[in-house]
Amino acid sequence: MNLYSKEFQSEVDGTGSIVAYSTFYDSARDIVHTKENFDVVLAELSERGDVIVGQGRNGEQILKFRDTTSTGPVTFTETDASVHDIRRAMSKVEKEISVLEKKIAKLDVDCRASLRSGDKTRAANLLRQKKRAQKDISDKDGQYQRLLTMLQQLGSTKAVT
Domains of the chain as residue ranges with CATH: 2-65 (1.10.10), 78-160 (1.10.287.1060)
What is the side-by-side strand order in the sheet with 51-55? Answer: 18-20, 61-65, 51-55
Q: Cβ distance 87 to 75 under 8 Å? A: no
pLDDT tier for residue 86 given thresholds of 50, 70 and 90? very high
The answer to whether residue 97 scores a pLDDT higher than 70 is: yes
The answer to whether residue 70 scores a pLDDT higher than 90 is: no
Each residue of 125-145: pLDDT tens digit?
999 999 999 999 999 999 999
Q: What mean pLDDT comes out for the span 141-156?
A: 92
